[in-house]
Chains A and B, each alone.
Chain A
Amino acid sequence: MTGGNASAALEAQLEDLRATHGDAVSIREIGGVVENLLAATKGDLMAADITLYSEMESLARYIHAAKAEIAALCPDEVKAEYLPTAADELDAIIAATADATHTIMDAAEKLDGVIETLDGNAQETVMTATTQIYEACGFQDVTGQRIGKVIKALKDIEIKVDALVAAFGEEIAEFKAKEQPGNTGEDRSQSDEDLLEGPQLEGKGRTQAEIDALLDDFD
């Protein structure tokens, strides 16, 4: 029974009751009217509910899929492994270029130190060359500042990833439990690609002497 039809039928029923009994209507007949009214209202509410439930179900499915996709990205690994590694690598670049710059300047200062002992033309040539070396060494300051900005950006990303990990901790754990070696049947042996992680940071790799010793052990 649709809303319009129900209303007309109820109206007719009430009119009929009024015409037949005036104001004295039996309880049984009132019950019949109420029953009809409930049946009509229930039908309308159910239609609205079905639409709402269906929308909510589709939204829930969407959220669930999005959560699973975010969990599959393993943001905890990004935070624990990739971000600190990237920042360490950048710090290592700053340190290595600073070392190289100082070595270059040590050499240029030695040349500067003997300028007084040279004749006119030679003195001019060496002076020009050392000036150019000092100027070029300025790259370390500028690149250092640029790398510093990248490190700051990584730290900002880390904060956002932290929030993701906090929000999706449960889903991530669930995803990882499913992806455990042995659960997926995936081959976890080390590939050639896995071996390529160099250059190692200070203290993380072997020294030349240690490598020599290691090689000797094979003989």
Chain B
Amino acid sequence: MAVDKNMNILIVDDYKTMLRILRNLLRQLGFSNIEDATDGGMALQKLRGAEIGLVISDWNMEPMTGIELLREVRGDDKLKHLPFIMITAESKTENVVAAKEAGVSNYIVKPFNAETLKAKIASVLGDF
């Protein structure tokens, strides 16, 4: 199935620089409808108010972290099947295991490159 490049993607990070980097890289990959949020709470509000096709979220944010957001998403009947990629500097095994147990779709370790971002999105949404 072809990936709908017009889908809304929600990027979540408390570093504005990282939001800008992700937005630019996603645009170069052909995605133009990109929403952003600077913490899990704001992200959750956006997820409940708009049709989002993919979440790419940082882990370490306040007051609601990325993994708390993920658990909220997986616990919500309307959002539980939403593709969710964690993109974080947390690279310990226990982090990856915890994210997997919480239902993450894929996991990107910072610093990352465009190729990795593309590959992980493809693994979740299909080739594009």
User: What is the interface of chain A, defined by CB distance below 8 A to chain B?
Assistant: 98, 101-102, 105, 108-109, 112, 127, 130-131, 134-135, 137-142, 144-145
Interface string of B92-128 (1 = CB under 8 A from A): 0000000000000000001111100000000000000
Chain A residue with Cβ nearest B15: A141
User: What is the interface of chain B, defined by CB distance below 8 A to chain A?
Assistant: 13, 15, 17-18, 20-21, 24-25, 27-28, 60, 89, 110-114
Q: Are A138 and B24 closer than 8 Å at their CB atoms?
A: no
Sample 24 A-B pairs with CB under 8 A, ordered by A number: A105-B20, A105-B21, A109-B24, A112-B28, A127-B28, A130-B24, A131-B25, A134-B28, A135-B112, A135-B113, A135-B114, A137-B17, A137-B21, A138-B18, A138-B110, A138-B111, A138-B112, A141-B13, A141-B17, A141-B111, A142-B89, A142-B111, A144-B15, A145-B60
- Inside 8 A of B24's CB, which chain A residues have their CB? 105, 108-109, 112, 130, 134
Q: Are B110 and A142 closer than 8 Å at their CB atoms?
A: yes
Q: Are A130 and B28 closer than 8 Å at their CB atoms?
A: yes
Give min CB distance, A168 to chain B, whole Å.
36
Identify which of A101, A105, A134, A142 gathers the most chain B CB atoms within 10 Å of its CB: A134
Q: Are B17 and A140 closer than 8 Å at their CB atoms?
A: yes
- Inside 8 A of B17's CB, which chain A residues have their CB? 98, 101-102, 105, 137, 140-141
- Inside 8 A of A142's CB, which chain B residues have their CB? 89, 110-111
- In the bound assembly, the distance between CA atoms of A159 and B36 in angstroms comes to 37
- Inside 8 A of A139's CB, which chain B residues have their CB? 111
Give min CB distance, B12 to chain A, whole Å.
13
- Inside 8 A of B28's CB, which chain A residues have their CB? 112, 127, 130-131, 134
Q: Are B89 and A134 closer than 8 Å at their CB atoms?
A: no
Q: Are A134 and B114 closer than 8 Å at their CB atoms?
A: yes
- In the bound assembly, the distance between CA atoms of A98 and B20 in angstroms comes to 12
Identify which of B13, B15, B25 gathers the most chain A CB atoms within 10 Å of its CB: B15
Q: Are A138 and B114 closer than 8 Å at their CB atoms?
A: no
- Inside 8 A of A138's CB, which chain B residues have their CB? 18, 21, 110-112
- Inside 8 A of B25's CB, which chain A residues have their CB? 131, 134-135
Q: A112-B24, A141-B89, A142-B89 are in contact. Are A135 and B15 (CB under 8 A)?
A: no
Give min CB distance, A138 to chain B, whole Å.
4
- Inside 8 A of B15's CB, which chain A residues have their CB? 140-141, 144
Q: Are A134 and B110 closer than 8 Å at their CB atoms?
A: no
- Inside 8 A of B18's CB, which chain A residues have their CB? 138, 141
Q: A109-B24, A112-B24, A131-B28 are in contact. Are A145 and B111 (CB under 8 A)?
A: no
A109-B24, A131-B25, A135-B25 known, 10 other contacts, Cβ within 8 Å? A105-B20, A112-B24, A112-B28, A131-B114, A135-B112, A135-B113, A135-B114, A141-B110, A144-B15, A145-B60
- In the bound assembly, the distance between CA atoms of A66 and B42 in angstroms comes to 53
- In the bound assembly, the distance between CA atoms of A96 and B17 in angstroms comes to 13
- In the bound assembly, the distance between CA atoms of A102 and B28 in angstroms comes to 18
- Inside 8 A of A127's CB, which chain B residues have their CB? 28
Identify which of B13, B110, B111 gathers the most chain A CB atoms within 10 Å of its CB: B111
Q: Are A145 and B114 closer than 8 Å at their CB atoms?
A: no
- Inside 8 A of A134's CB, which chain B residues have their CB? 21, 24-25, 28, 114
